[in-house]
A and B are shown apart, each in its own frame.
Chain A
């Protein structure tokens, strides 16, 4: 199965769908894809793409602490730590702070990564490299989800999607022109806080699918692809959600078929689709001109 020619026959491939873990992976994958792409549009447009990256590294650090503490469900540490980090990061990047925004982000990002790996060394695990690799690239996590994981993911995703739907117009206003929104009395600090919390939720969820190093791809690619072709906020949001879901589904199925790691297969499909949209965007512009 693990050779270069590990491509299986269709009947072998189809036989995988009798297993619960495959369906778990598909359900969780699609939900994560949906959440991350919705938020991705706002993050990319607010020039916050890197915050997702920084946060995912913080989540990695928290995961290491959870591993050393020997928690059965690491969410109890990872979720609150990431939420707090998200709130702090969005706060400082919005205002003039002593430390330059992107420099401080890079600082936090690499520190969390380094300390995370350092802490992992104290976990006494017999398979340290495997654990770290799984957390960074999510290689096996998505195919070994428990029922509790799946339910937790469903609840959090529904929460994220509902919040996005309810505050869609506000999110648009704040993304397009925060100063105007604030000047006309919208409580932007509350919505920014909400966005920060939701980003943290999405990142913690997405760690299951692609691991902490590749989360940014999930957040950024669909939004960037959609922006190549569409010029209205609503269409960009819808297209990016669709692109994300399709890419993730294709990525998961391909990874089963080709026996490749799930996370990087999904990201590779995202990249391929982005290139497609980029070319389509160029062609469209030429056609209009």
Chain B
């Protein structure tokens, strides 16, 4: 079932297009990877998908199913340095995933707190609950933000370079975790990545943004396509 359908997107700032003619669909259970060189418009695409900036042209349709689940895309941002000395416990951050859903209600309900506990358990960070976020390792921090993203969404996650800055072992664990969320928990994944090996290993669909245009198709089609072979280089 389709969750998200983007047609003829034209992206950019103040009327200046960074990328155009971007069309793709995301269906339930997909693992879509967005690849492309720096400056190709990936970050602009992320912002547009999240509704942080409007597209210059084209449309983003959210399906009935997605809207019923709150219409929210769970977002795992790239880590920003401002957060590094922030006094906040893991629990406080994870619970803030509920903010949009809680409307004007000032406090979290008991069910929400329990749900937050369950998600921390699922991601293996329950024992860090009372710890300060800024004192955790990079991998642990990403899990905290992932738990928060999962609470914000019913079924769709957008991960922006989720393994940037992590060491190889933690990177592998992170990929396994994302794969498990996709396979076992039925979470649809959209991941922006530079890591072509991981993309080829995990993605079901690929959106390649290049020279201001985009290629979209399944992972098999991509591996056979000219652009896919060029980009993947000697990896295979």
Contact = CB atoms under 8 A, between A and B. Distances in A.
A170 B96 CA distance: 8
B75 to A, nearest CB: 5
Nearest to A239: B87
Contacts of B70: 185
Interface size range on A against B: 20 to 34
Contacts of A186: 99-100
A223 to B, nearest CB: 10
A76 interface: no
B92 A232 contact: yes
A172 B86 CA distance: 11
Given A173-B99, A180-B75, A184-B100, A232 B52 contact: no
Contacts of A169: 95-96, 99, 102, 106-108
Interface of B: 50-52, 70-75, 77, 82-83, 85-89, 92-93, 95-97, 99-100, 102, 106-108, 130, 132, 134-135, 148-149, 152-153
B130 to A, nearest CB: 8
Nearest to A179: B77
B96 A172 contact: yes
A184 B83 contact: no
B148 A167 contact: no
Contacts of A182: 50, 52
Sorted nearest first, the 8 A-B pairs with minimum C-beta distance are A231-B132, A185-B100, A183-B50, A184-B100, A173-B96, A184-B152, A232-B89, A173-B99
B106 A227 contact: no
Contacts of B108: 169
9 contacts: A45-B87, A47-B82, A180-B77, A184-B74, A186-B99, A227-B87, A231-B134, A231-B135, A232-B92
B132 A232 contact: yes
A185 B92 contact: no
A227 B107 CA distance: 24
Greatest chain B CB density within 10 A among A167, A169, A180, A232 is at: A180
B92 A233 contact: yes
Given A177-B77, A180-B148, A233-B88, 19 more contacts: A45-B87, A166-B106, A168-B106, A172-B92, A176-B86, A176-B96, A177-B83, A179-B52, A179-B77, A180-B75, A181-B100, A183-B50, A184-B97, A185-B100, A186-B100, A231-B87, A231-B89, A231-B132, A232-B132
